[in-house]
Structure 1
Amino acid sequence: MTRPISRQPSLPPLAALWHWLLQNRQIPTFFALGVLLSLLTLQVAWVLGEPRINQFFQTLDHWQQRPPAWLQTPMEGLWAWSWPCLLLVLLWVITRLWKRPSFWPRLVVVGILALLTVRYLLWRSLSTLNVSTPLNGSLSLMLYGMELLLLVTGLIQLLLSVAARDRQAQADQYAVAVQQGHYQPHVDILVPTYNEPVSLLRRTLVGCLALNYPAKTVYVLDDGDRPEVAALARQLGCRYQTRCDREGAKAGNLNAALPNCQGELIAVFDADFIPQKTFLARTIGFFQDPRVGLVQTPQSFYNPDPIAYNLDLAAEIPPEDEIFYRHVQPMRDGVGSVVCVGTSFVVRRQALDAIGGFVTESLSEDYFTGIRIAASGYQLIYLNEKLSQGLAPESLAAYAKQRLRWARGTLQAFFIQANPLTIAGLNPLQRLGHLEGLLHWFSSLPRILFLVMPLGYGIGIMPVKATGPELLYFLLPIYLGHLTVFNWLNRRSRSALLSEIYSLVLAVPLAVTSLQALIQPFRCQFSVTPKGLRQDRFFFNWALAWPLLILFAATWVSVGLNLRQFWLLSQQADGAQMRGLGLGLWWAGYNLVLLAVALLALWDAPRDGREAMIPRPLTLDLQTDSGEVLTVRSQAQSEAVIRLESKLVLPEGSLTLTRLGNQMFSVPIQRCDRDAQGTWLWLTPQTADQDRLIEAIYCHATEYRRWESPGERRSLFLILKTLLWPPILRSRQRPAQLGRLLVEAPQRF
């Protein structure tokens, strides 16, 4: 007997569409496309003169031309003009009296900035929108929407910054039990690797083995299945593990090691991150509290980030990540939304097992693993102490690759179960902290619009209707207030002007990636940031530069058009039509300076490895052929090269390094070089000496350099100096490099 074929009941079209969206995790894409389609439909209806749409915008335009009295610029009255000035003076006084943003001064500053922001937002909403025609209205509302995105994100940051936490005193208390041996759970240290240079991996493994903590096991997780890595693990006494496939990339590699781990806690270090000896002693103590699931520490780097290096500002400004680890992470720790960054953290094995291991659904496996641990009821702790250091991206291409992966991986939140906005178990403040992080990756969209908007003024489009007095009364206070306290609020990690440069360099690729992530979130696979790069000449990143070159040219065009428009309207003596042209000219000039410096940052400067040294002065002894011992002081060093003072003259003949810091050695000096930066000693250590050098240079518990970002005036000076005297013009390679650029330019395009 034939069994009848069972058929699934057919669904109505809308229900079928909803079912398909759920199955394919496309609801965010559908929502984004729906919003875009609705806006386009509204625009078309407005252009075609649909009566109700026209009536709506005519009413809105009427309101914009007659704002409330309290939003009108006072023509007389000292108090109306003086109270914004008094607030700015108060901000300046607070930043001078309190060098660090403690709670009450920070609360006052946040309150003043929030007041100025809301005041500016009301003015923009009720007085400056130009909806007199569809073209003006479209650009005006687009600019307003993008500005609103930045203002809302900024207000969320201000709110979160009030609750910022510092756990160093708490770490001191917890560390006592660890140091006295009362609390020393076994720790499995996992070091995942794929294609990193073995010399780089060696530093990390030596650092892990040198940790001042007895109950530990170090695992090398080699996804590259390399014999030389297996040999290194055997030589150092680490456990080596590989696997047949690379499914799940880094997260899959970590998960594959979990069945072999028996420790109560797990520490994870990327292949280029070297821990200090005190790393576990400072972090393990927090786990005495059974509610703690993960402890994250900052990423710090011993080489400059590529933007600072290319602009020859590495000695002047902190690494780019400092603002995240010095300002954003403490801010998010205050509301329980700490970001796990994938390295230099310790996690409770029980908490990891409770969520099924490391999340493999996303490129940002670390971020979503932390979210799921928090959602399961555990606390994520951020300890703002630099207890490890790694290698920053060594080229702008590698830097871009890393940042774009982070952007796409974070925005995959909208498409996976670990979405921090919807996952069960998080409170509203935790979700707010994660919302700020998600909105951050969309900030490149308004930045690009801000670059092209002055062009509209030049062709007679007025996105913002504002007079000079209005700009002084509403825009200038919030701008000056932001400049006054930005560096202070983020604990001297970045100035506002330098942040503009950093945000522009990758603005276009990040904007494209953020939009792609909403349409094709899982298009790209996980890729490792290249390490150990070397280049002997300047290299211009055409792939990253061409969008900025187009924007730079368009900005010059907008300057010319604005000047022409300004002259024509001045001839007509029509002040109403000249409304806002001054803003367009100022805006275009500001953009030109920022774009020019961003383009200079796209020149990758030569690298020979000497820039990846620890910038820590140490005393060392050098022994000559005759037995004479010279005591000198270094400026920076690695296990292969030491930089001494530039004016130091060493005797002829062979030299031997006999002491570095507090440790004794017998390492021959291969050669000595001198240049403008200093005297360079190149070492030829044997394996045992090499490991001891690594430990002496990288692993001792010393205070890493805490760079303070220059203030806004100093930042402006550095920007103008870089613009007027670019690093490539200071190089001896200048003629050849500029000639090669002219030859390669047509081929690149």
Structure 2
Amino acid sequence: MSLSEHTRQLPSLSRVRTPSKSITIHRTTWVIGIALSIFIVLAIAWHAGVEPVEQFFSKLDIWLQHPHVWLELPHEKSQWLLIPTLILTSVVLLVMKTSPRPKTWSRLIVVAILLALIIRYMIWRSLSTLNLATPGDGVVSLVLYGMEMLFLCSNIVQLYLLLGVRHHNAEADRLQITVLDGQYQPTVDVLIPTYNEPPEVLRRTIIGCQAMDYPEAKKAIYLLDDKRRSEIQALAAELGCHYMRRPDNRHAKAGNLNHALLTTNGELVVVFDADFVPTSNFLTRTVGFFQDSSIGLLQTYQSFYNHDPIARNLGLEKVLTQEVEIFSRHGQVLRDSAGTAICSGSSFVVRRQPLEALGGFVTDSLSEDYFTAIALSAQGYRVVYLNERLSAGLSAETMVDHIAQRLRWARGTLQAFFIDANPITIRGFSILQRLAYAEGLFQWFSSLFRIFLLFLPLICAWFGIVPLRMVHQEWLYFIVPFYVIQLVSFSWLTERSRSVLLSDIYSVAQCFPIAITIVQTLLNPFSIGFRVTPKGQTRDRLQFNWRLAMPLIVTLGLSMIGLWHGVRLALMDDAELLAIVHDPNLILGLRFVWIGVAYNALIIVVALMTLIDLPHPDPYEWLAIERVAALQMGEQVVWGTTTQISEMGMQVQFSQASTWDVYSYPFGMSVRLSLPEESLDLEGTITQVKTLDGICELGIRFRNLNLSQQRQLVTFLFCRPGRWHGQSVPGELRSLWLALNVLFVQRLLLRRPIEPAPLQVSQV
């Protein structure tokens, strides 16, 4: 049955795809507007001295200054108050040492400790720390409290989901047997939507898709060209895949995919973005899951074969993982435990029948992938996440494109509040699923919170406002254990995908544009259309993104002034500070406000460095692969080892430099080279000669590559199972050292290498 027939027969499902903009948009906007208006009116009334409002907050402040007995400190001596922190930290460190990777028992212990500390902290914050002495203090204190509670609730949801984590790798091992044996081999349509990606990017993707292990009679590959380019049509003909175009670009990527569904008929549909190359075992590892008729969609891990622009610009390519690593390695696993895994738009498999029953991919949002998975789940189908690196693509290559991509994701995801496929309200979900989706939606609001935290220490330093009422003993007893355990366990719980400090650098670098996008989306959610992230670009010079940097530069300038004020407050004696705040419980906050300002200033400076895009003159990505290589130069054959390889060249090291005159072989000289382990023979040209400590390294560019050699190179470089591996980020102290090193060594001492580093991969 065709897609159009399904759509006609199931008109009720069109509600999933058609937003009730005239009702839903106004309702959502009004709810947010009314809530903000009530808070603003109360704040103004409080400042104006309206008696009922003033009396209410005055009585509440008096009540908060006399907390319950179980919130009182057990001992006044500071050293005794640190005992809970020392005990809990020791327990967590012991668990992490015994179980280097989280297991069910170790995860349960750490999560239980964190949940207990969070609940304890929330109670203390709610009943003891609000400062409502004056309207200025009260407004700031309540805003901080509200934001903190929102994100602590989000944290609780994440921790609860951690308790149900399960992986499907063993299941994939079992199910792939039926695929390899031919017992279960449904027909598969592989769709590659493209708009403006260059031919060299599409070439490797098509070759990679053709190299997937699966019967050719049951696998069809379609290149969906939404820009209707003759050179791309010629590329498809050269490589032997189907080519499709449509007369318009309606609904962007979702419309392109839906157009292809009309003329294809495979039982399963696989989608790869134009830059994603699958490993050869992609289908054998995924197709078997669909023997279970309840599974509607399977999403796989997304790896990348180039460096994150933030890591690249900071010179930390060998240290930092991709920003989306924390999503693929941690966030997706969490959501899968609740049955709310997210479709990421590439490297996924979907069952055609339920997809057509929905009317195709959802077209109401910029995030067609996200809402299509939601719609399938709401109809009773399972969306499964397979935590295996079965493909790799190109991440955004500049900070402008990196942030623009995040803005599209933010806008598309938050459009959930304005369409009928809202996962919080749509029928068919459990309470836990709704909470999991809500937690994901509210994660975008962390940018607003981060901006508030950038300015909070400045407000305190300039105006003498203290949002928390506490003495230093309370700080030791309630705050220190909560934050220390969070810092110690964060990287471990997230499978070493990110540290708190490094996450903060990423957050600050993009918090202003994301915050603006959030506000724009809440006011006018459908004002901006789909924008394709450019891939395969080159640039030959440094580029500083002034437009993105200006809010950070202004904030940094204000922070420098605030730091001076903060240091001045820190040097005052208690009597002088008491004259400012009129409460001894508020002195601690003023005395140490400079620490918050200094920390923010450090993060802002490092974030500004991420906005300096380094040159990237080569459109091809280099992988750090070592293979024995033989070079025939004239009559001489020299053996060496490759250090990095791309589709167009390689670097080869020789330890025999003393036995032959490397400089007798000039630039531009033709050579024949062979990789015996790969049965690969190529021709090339010398483009670079380097010697260091008796080691010679030649740069060689391939030439006269035929199609067979291109296929060999692509499958060797990108399609080997196990090629892509993750790396572990450093802990918090080493992350701090790296940030300081970037600031004082790489930049101030100009020791930053400009030449891109090859991507570290498995030597399979």
TM score, norm. by length of structure 1: 0.92
Alignment partner of 1:730 is 2:750: yes
How do residues 361-376 of structure 1 correspond to structure 2 at under 5 angstroms?
A: 361-376=364-379
Alignment partner of 1:698 is 2:706: no
Q: Of residues 235, 241, 244 in structure 2, which corresponds to 1:241?
A: 244
Tell me the residue number matched to 1:741.
none
Structure 1's 674 and 366: CA in aligned 2 closer, same or farther, altered over 3 A? farther
Consecutive unaligned residues of structure 2, counting only runs of 5 or more, are 1-18, 755-764
The question of whether the paired residues in 2 share the 8 Å contact of 1:140 and 1:463 is answered with yes
Alpha-carbon distance between aligned partners in 2 of 1:320 and 1:579, rounded to the nearest angstrom:
36
Report % sequence identity: 42
Alignment partner of 1:407 is 2:410: yes
Alpha-carbon distance between aligned partners in 1 of 2:435 and 2:303, rounded to the nearest angstrom:
27
Tell me the residue number matched to 1:491.
495
Q: Of residues 684, 687, 691 in structure 1, which corresponds to 2:706?
A: 687
How do residues 154-173 of structure 1 correspond to structure 2 at under 5 angstroms?
A: 154-173=155-174
Tell me the residue number matched to 2:603.
594
Structure 1's 72 and 59: CA in aligned 2 closer, same or farther, altered over 3 A? same
Structure 1's 638 and 502: CA in aligned 2 closer, same or farther, altered over 3 A? same
* Residue deviations 1:580-635 (CA, integer Å, cap 9, x gap): 1133122112112111111111111111227822233333332222152x333223
The question of whether the paired residues in 2 share the 8 Å contact of 1:220 and 1:233 is answered with yes
Structure 1's 432 and 707: CA in aligned 2 closer, same or farther, altered over 3 A? same
- The alpha carbon displacement at 1:510 in A equals 1.0
Alpha-carbon distance between aligned partners in 2 of 1:733 and 1:333, rounded to the nearest angstrom:
40
The question of whether the paired residues in 1 share the 8 Å contact of 2:639 and 2:654 is answered with no
Structure 1's 128 and 675: CA in aligned 2 closer, same or farther, altered over 3 A? farther
- The alpha carbon displacement at 1:73 in A equals 3.0
Alpha-carbon distance between aligned partners in 2 of 1:142 and 1:205, rounded to the nearest angstrom:
52
Q: Of residues 545, 555, 558 in structure 1, which corresponds to 2:559?
A: 555
Aligned with 2:257: secondary structure?
helix
Q: What amino acid is the match of 1:448?
A: I
Alpha-carbon distance between aligned partners in 2 of 1:644 and 1:384, rounded to the nearest angstrom:
35
Aligned with 1:184: secondary structure?
coil
How do residues 45-84 of structure 1 correspond to structure 2 at under 5 angstroms?
A: 45-76=45-76, 81-84=82-85
Tell me the residue number matched to 1:285.
288
Structure 1's 732 and 439: CA in aligned 2 closer, same or farther, altered over 3 A? closer
Tell me the residue number matched to 1:93.
94
Alpha-carbon distance between aligned partners in 2 of 1:634 and 1:421, rounded to the nearest angstrom:
53
The question of whether the paired residues in 2 share the 8 Å contact of 1:146 and 1:445 is answered with no
* Residue deviations 1:546-604 (CA, integer Å, cap 9, x gap): 11111111111111112233445546374826231133122112112111111111111
Alignment partner of 1:667 is 2:683: yes
Bigger shift: 460-469 or 27-36? Answer: 460-469
- The alpha carbon displacement at 1:445 in A equals 0.9
Structure 1's 539 and 99: CA in aligned 2 closer, same or farther, altered over 3 A? same
The question of whether the paired residues in 1 share the 8 Å contact of 2:20 and 2:418 is answered with no
Structure 1's 292 and 390: CA in aligned 2 closer, same or farther, altered over 3 A? same
Aligned with 2:323: secondary structure?
coil
Structure 1's 86 and 30: CA in aligned 2 closer, same or farther, altered over 3 A? same
The question of whether the paired residues in 2 share the 8 Å contact of 1:447 and 1:507 is answered with yes
Alpha-carbon distance between aligned partners in 2 of 1:495 and 1:552, rounded to the nearest angstrom:
23
The question of whether the paired residues in 2 share the 8 Å contact of 1:211 and 1:277 is answered with yes
Q: What amino acid is the match of 1:104?
A: W
Alpha-carbon distance between aligned partners in 2 of 1:646 and 1:525, rounded to the nearest angstrom:
53
Alignment partner of 1:360 is 2:363: yes
Bigger shift: 201-210 or 676-685? Answer: 676-685
Alpha-carbon distance between aligned partners in 2 of 1:75 and 1:264, rounded to the nearest angstrom:
68
Structure 1's 20 and 600: CA in aligned 2 closer, same or farther, altered over 3 A? closer
The question of whether the paired residues in 2 share the 8 Å contact of 1:391 and 1:612 is answered with no
Aligned with 2:243: secondary structure?
strand
Q: What amino acid is the match of 1:378?
A: Y
Alignment partner of 1:638 is 2:658: no
Alpha-carbon distance between aligned partners in 1 of 2:752 and 2:446, rounded to the nearest angstrom:
38
Tell me the residue number matched to 2:222.
219
Tell me the residue number matched to 2:203.
202
Tell me the residue number matched to 2:728.
708
Tell me the residue number matched to 2:124.
123
CA root-mean-square deviation: 2.2
- The alpha carbon displacement at 1:701 in A equals 1.9
The question of whether the paired residues in 1 share the 8 Å contact of 2:193 and 2:273 is answered with yes
Q: Of residues 672, 685, 693 in structure 2, which corresponds to 1:656?
A: 672
Bigger shift: 101-110 or 681-690? Answer: 681-690
Alpha-carbon distance between aligned partners in 1 of 2:655 and 2:133, rounded to the nearest angstrom:
69
Alpha-carbon distance between aligned partners in 1 of 2:561 and 2:735, rounded to the nearest angstrom:
27
The question of whether the paired residues in 1 share the 8 Å contact of 2:130 and 2:467 is answered with yes
Alpha-carbon distance between aligned partners in 2 of 1:673 and 1:519, rounded to the nearest angstrom:
58
Q: What amino acid is the match of 1:32?
A: I
The question of whether the paired residues in 2 share the 8 Å contact of 1:555 and 1:588 is answered with yes
Structure 1's 733 and 96: CA in aligned 2 closer, same or farther, altered over 3 A? closer
Aligned with 2:564: secondary structure?
helix
The question of whether the paired residues in 1 share the 8 Å contact of 2:746 and 2:752 is answered with no
The question of whether the paired residues in 2 share the 8 Å contact of 1:332 and 1:433 is answered with yes
- The alpha carbon displacement at 1:254 in A equals 0.2
- The alpha carbon displacement at 1:402 in A equals 0.3
Bigger shift: 668-677 or 26-35? Answer: 668-677
Tell me the residue number matched to 1:181.
182
Structure 1's 167 and 20: CA in aligned 2 closer, same or farther, altered over 3 A? closer
Aligned with 2:721: secondary structure?
coil
Tell me the residue number matched to 1:607.
616
* Residue deviations 1:265-290 (CA, integer Å, cap 9, x gap): 00000000001111001100100111
- The alpha carbon displacement at 1:692 in A equals 2.3
- The alpha carbon displacement at 1:92 in A equals 1.1
Bigger shift: 209-218 or 689-698? Answer: 689-698
* Residue deviations 1:382-426 (CA, integer Å, cap 9, x gap): 111111111111100000110000000000000111110111111
- The alpha carbon displacement at 1:646 in A equals 8.8
Alpha-carbon distance between aligned partners in 1 of 2:627 and 2:170, rounded to the nearest angstrom:
29
The question of whether the paired residues in 2 share the 8 Å contact of 1:661 and 1:696 is answered with no
Alignment partner of 1:504 is 2:513: no
Q: Of residues 612, 617, 620 in structure 1, which corresponds to 2:626?
A: 617
Tell me the residue number matched to 1:142.
143
- The alpha carbon displacement at 1:666 in A equals 2.9
